[in-house]
């Protein structure tokens, strides 16, 4: 799988703006057992370069997209990372291999619980998972060195921009369903944010704050051998986060991955 990612990424170099992916990212991808983060029914397909269903009409992102987005974060060992869209925890695990701490937000409680169980089983102690609306991030632990989002809003959510540390980077798909772009947003030391469009992608949608203003929110943490869940009433709350079913658009990628 990793060698296939390396080859395809080289063909996408003009779009991605990088000749090769960071070896640290590829080693993390090789280390994390993807089959442990998918339902048993699709384990035989775990190392194919494609999204796979994980229940609740959601998917685990294709390995190439995980690698590209992780690479663009330019993670450092002491980084604190915010992830929007935990799914079953695969991207979280890859991030945790490269960063100091990962805070991940998932809107579907059952997925969050299953992710925590899988991450605990694999020995990850530097990931906290919260059930809530990812549009609003996780302000209690802000600011973050890096932010990664696995569903596409029309525009970058202001709360996520505000929670990005000066000098930090965000990787996020942005745009309407038929015109989404993978975007890198960088905040300079003066707090000014610049963005760069990388390539066309297709993600499911991250909705905003147009849902009821009061709903339950849970914090689910991996704490040693225990799981801790704290019920909170959070106001405001909002839209539904759909896990990504994503493919870079382009003839080279499509011809290599079918």
Residues of the chain by 3-state class (helix, strand, coil), percent to 5? 35, 30, 35
- Nearest of 120, 119, 107 to residue 234 by alpha carbon: 107
Cα 194 from chain centre: 20
Other C-beta atoms lying within 10 Å of the C-beta of residue 189 = 8
Determine phi and psi for 130, rounding to 5 degrees.
-125, 140
Are 173 and 180 within 8 A, CB to CB? yes
Give catalytic status of residue 237 as yes or no.
no
CA angle, corner 202, sides to 187 and 127, nearest 5?
55
The secondary structure element, H or E, covering residue 39 is none
Residues 6 or more apart from 4 whose CB is under 8 A from it?
A: 49
Farthest CA pair distance, the chain: 49
- Nearest of 104, 47, 40, 100 to residue 76 by alpha carbon: 100
Residue 55 to residue 59: CA distance in whole angstroms: 7
Other C-beta atoms lying within 10 Å of the C-beta of residue 76 = 11
Q: Which of 61, 222, 242, 244 is the catalytic position? A: 61
Active site residues: 61
């Amino acid at each position: 799988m990793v060698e296939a990612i390396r080859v395809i990424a080289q063909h996408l170099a003009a779009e991605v703006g990088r000749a090769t992916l960071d070896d640290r990212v590829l080693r993390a991808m090789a280390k994390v057992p993807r089959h442990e983060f998918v339902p048993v029914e699709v384990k035989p397909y775990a190392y194919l370069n494609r999204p796979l269903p994980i229940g609740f009409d959601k998917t685990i992102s294709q390995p190439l997209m995980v690698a590209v987005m992780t690479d663009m974060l330019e993670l450092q060992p002491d980084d604190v990372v915010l992830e929007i869209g935990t799914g079953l925890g695969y991207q979280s695990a890859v991030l945790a291999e490269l960063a100091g701490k990962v805070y991940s937000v998932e809107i579907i409680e059952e997925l969050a619980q299953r992710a925590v169980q899988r991450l605990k089983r694999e020995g990850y102690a530097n990931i906290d998972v919260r059930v809530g609306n990812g549009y609003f991030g996780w302000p209690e632990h802000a600011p973050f060195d890096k932010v990664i989002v696995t569903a596409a809003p029309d525009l970058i959510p202001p709360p996520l921009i505000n929670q990005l540390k000066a000098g930090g980077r965000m990787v996020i798909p942005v745009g309407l369903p038929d015109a989404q772009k993978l975007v890198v947003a960088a905040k300079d030391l003066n707090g000014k944010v610049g963005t760069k469009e990388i390539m066309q992608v297709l993600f499911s949608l991250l909705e905003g704050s147009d849902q009821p203003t009061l709903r339950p929110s849970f914090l689910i943490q991996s704490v040693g051998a225990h799981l801790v869940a704290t019920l909170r009433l959070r106001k405001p709350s909002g839209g539904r986060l759909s896990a990504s079913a994503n493919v870079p658009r382009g003839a080279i990628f499509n011809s290599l991955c079918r």
